């Protein structure tokens, strides 16, 4: 009994060394199995490569890119790992060395920012377009007049992404300025981090109204277009995709191809 409790140092080392060696072998295998196993659950066994391709994409692209990722994995056996945020946030992360293989931006300015940083492996391609709408969780129409909008807000706020940096916020600012509404409505804006956050604020009725992308409204039950924003009131809304590494080049080609265009159209996006 005493021998089993009070091991000598030599005996302890002999017992521990094989265990350590086994751990060094098993831990990497376990990590790989976790990646492959997760991929197999989503896409089916044998379809996915162990190392996903990292796609950094504008938040408003989530419904379309989620669908495209499934189709891409089935067609190629390669998994896509999607990270969504505002284009401005993603562009700065990529500039600072974040491990992206593909960048998809809702703004040509932020794509130019990444291009000027010298981190792209190929030039960007336009893959889709969009338009702006005034939206609400209540379907009754609203005119684009200050009085009508303020009555609908009824003390609440108008959801819009950050107007200083997020593409949708910049487009919305241009539209409100052109329509002569920005000065009156600016104190009543509720600014969120990205387009999806503004959509959720409207869906949850945290904000009575929101300036959103038409595609986000189409893909979300319980949110309605209550007024259309004329496209000439702001710069064209175009989505651009570019590869950051050689691994991402095939993905960009897929997004710009027939299958990608079909999915974007089904999700309410416009042709580029």
Both 217 and 246 in one domain: the answer is no
Both 66 and 96 in one domain: the answer is yes
Both 141 and 222 in one domain: the answer is yes
Q: Are 101 and 52 in contact (CB under 8 A)?
A: no
Enclosing H/E stretch for 98: none
Which residue would you say has higher pLDDT here, 200 or 31?
200
With 50 as the cut, is the pLDDT of residue 113 above it?
A: yes
∠ at Cα 119 (114, 124), nearest 5°?
60
Both 203 and 253 in one domain: the answer is no
Which residue would you say has higher pLDDT here, 225 or 44?
225
Q: Which domain covers residue 75, as residue numbers?
A: 53-129+237-266
Both 205 and 138 in one domain: the answer is yes
Spatial CA neighbour of 56 closest among 95, 118, 104, 125: 104
In what side-by-side order are the strands of the sheet with 102-105?
A: 80-85, 53-58, 102-105, 237-243, 125-130
Both 102 and 165 in one domain: the answer is no
pLDDT of residue 50: 62
Query: Terminus-to-terminus CA distance in the chain, angstroms?
Result: 78
The whole-angstrom separation of Cα 179 and Cα 197 is 24
% the chain with pLDDT above 90: 81
The answer to the question of residue 114 being in a domain is yes
Both 186 and 201 in one domain: the answer is yes
Least confident of 35-49, 91-105, 132-146, 215-229: 35-49
pLDDT of residue 49: 53
pLDDT of residue 43: 46
Q: What is the pLDDT of residues 159-186, one digit of tens each?
A: 999 999 999 999 999 999 999 999 999 9
Q: What are the beta bridge partners of residue 237? A: 130
Both 43 and 63 in one domain: the answer is no
Both 216 and 257 in one domain: the answer is no
pLDDT of residue 219: 93
Both 116 and 251 in one domain: the answer is yes
The answer to the question of residue 260 being in a domain is yes
With 70 as the cut, is the pLDDT of residue 11 above it?
A: no
pLDDT of residue 141: 98
Query: pTM for this structure?
Result: 0.78
**223 is written with which tokens?**
């949110």
Q: What is the mean pLDDT of the chain?
A: 86
Both 144 and 121 in one domain: the answer is no
- Residue 119 belongs to a domain with what CATH number? 3.40.190.10
pLDDT of residue 85: 96
pLDDT of residue 19: 37
Question: Average pLDDT of 89-99?
Answer: 97
The answer to the question of residue 1 being in a domain is no
Q: Are 106 and 162 in contact (CB under 8 A)?
A: no
Q: What is the pLDDT of residues 25-61, one digit of tens each?
A: 433 333 333 334 334 434 444 445 569 999 999 999 9
The whole-angstrom separation of Cα 22 and Cα 168 is 52
pLDDT of residue 188: 98
Which residue would you say has higher pLDDT here, 155 or 1?
155
């Amino acid at each position: 009994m005493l021998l089993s409790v009070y091991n000598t140092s030599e005996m302890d080392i002999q017992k521990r060394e094989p265990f350590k060696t086994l751990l060094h072998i098993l831990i990497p295998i376990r990590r790989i199995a976790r990646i492959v196993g997760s991929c197999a659950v989503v896409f089916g066994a044998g379809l996915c490569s162990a190392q996903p391709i990292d796609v950094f994409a504008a938040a408003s692209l989530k419904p379309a890119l989620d669908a495209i990722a499934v189709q891409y994995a089935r067609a190629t056996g390669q998994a896509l790992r999607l990270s969504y945020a505002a284009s401005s946030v993603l562009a700065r992360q990529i500039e600072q060395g974040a491990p992206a293989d593909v960048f998809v931006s809702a703004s040509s300015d932020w794509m130019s920012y990444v291009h000027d940083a010298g981190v792209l492996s190929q030039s960007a391609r336009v893959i889709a377009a969009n338009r702006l709408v005034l939206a609400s969780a209540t379907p009754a129409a609203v005119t684009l007049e200050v009085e009508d909008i303020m009555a609908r807000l009824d003390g609440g706020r108008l959801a819009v992404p950050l107007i200083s940096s997020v593409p949708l916020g910049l487009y919305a600012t241009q539209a409100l300025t052109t329509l002569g509404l920005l000065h009156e409505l600016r104190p009543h804006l509720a600014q969120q981090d990205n387009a999806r956050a503004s959509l959720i604020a409207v869906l949850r009725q945290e904000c009575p109204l929101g300036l959103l992308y038409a595609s986000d409204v189409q893909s979300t039950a319980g949110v309605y277009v209550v007024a259309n924003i004329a496209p000439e009131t702001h710069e064209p809304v175009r989505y651009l995709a570019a590869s950051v590494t050689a691994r991402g080049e095939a993905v960009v080609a897929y997004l710009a191809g027939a299958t990608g265009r079909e999915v974007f159209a089904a999700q309410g996006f416009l042709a580029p």
